[in-house]
Amino acid sequence: MPKLSALPSTTSIAATDTIPVTVGSTTYKMAKTDLVPFYNITNYGAVDGADITTPVVNALTAADGQGILFIPRGTYTYNSNSYTVDGDFLWINRDFTSAAVNPLASAENQGILVTFETPTDAVLDTNHSRVGISVTGFGLGAQHATGMRANLYNSSTDGQGNTGFYAHAQSDTDALGTFSLHGETRHGGGTTTGLNLELGSFSAAGSFYGIVINNTSSSLSAAGATNTLTGTSPIAHATATSMLVTGTNNANAMGGWVRGIHFHANAMRSTGNTILIDSVCDAHFKTAATATATTADIWLAANSGIGLLLAGTYTTSAIRIGAGQRIGLEATNAIKFGWTTANNAVEFENSGNNRVSLDLSATPGLRVNATKVVGTRKTGWATATGTATRTTFDTTTVTTAQLAERVKALIDDLHGTAGHGLLGT
Instruction: Give residue-wise pLDDT tens across range 179-189.
Output: 888 888 888 88
pLDDT at residue number 221: 58
pLDDT at residue number 409: 97
272-300 b/e (C-beta count within 10 Å ≥ 16 → b)? eeeeeeeeeeeeeeeeeeeeeeeeeeeee
Beta-bridged to residue 6, according to DSSP, are: 28
Residue ranges, the chain, pLDDT below 70: 1-19, 21, 29-36, 122-126, 142, 159, 216-224, 248-255
Closest CA relative to residue 88, chosen from 41, 128, 132:
41
pLDDT at residue number 10: 46
67-78 b/e (C-beta count within 10 Å ≥ 16 → b)? bebbbeebebeb
pLDDT at residue number 36: 58
> How many CB atoms are located within 10 Å of the residue 116 CB?
13
Q: What is the CA radius of gyration of the chain?
A: 40
CA dihedral sign of residues 297, 299, 304, 306: positive
pLDDT at residue number 163: 86
Closest CA relative to residue 388, chosen from 374, 377, 403, 369:
403
Distances in whole angstroms, Cα of residue 364 to Cα of each of 266, 321, 398: 53, 21, 38
First to last CA, the chain: 120
CA dihedral sign of residues 371, 374, 379, 384: positive
Closest CA relative to residue 161, chosen from 206, 102, 233, 217:
217
Distances in whole angstroms, Cα of residue 286 to Cα of each of 144, 185, 273, 283, 373: 41, 30, 19, 6, 40
pLDDT at residue number 165: 87
pLDDT at residue number 113: 93
pLDDT at residue number 1: 38
Tens of pLDDT along 330-372?
989 999 999 888 878 999 999 989 999 999 999 999 999 989 9
Q: Could you tell me how far CA 47 lies from the centroid of its own chain? A: 50
pLDDT at residue number 185: 86
Cβ neighbours for 403, distance < 8 A, ≥ 6 positions apart: 393
Round to whole Å and give the CA distance between 368 and 247.
51
pLDDT at residue number 3: 46
Are the C-beta atoms of residues 67 and 91 closer than 8 Å to each other?
no
Are the C-beta atoms of residues 226 and 172 closer than 8 Å to each other?
no
Closest CA relative to residue 134, chosen from 147, 120, 121, 115:
147
Dihedral, CA of residue 183, residue 186, residue 192 and residue 195, to nearest 10:
10
Round to whole Å and give the CA distance between 381 and 378.
8
pLDDT at residue number 212: 87
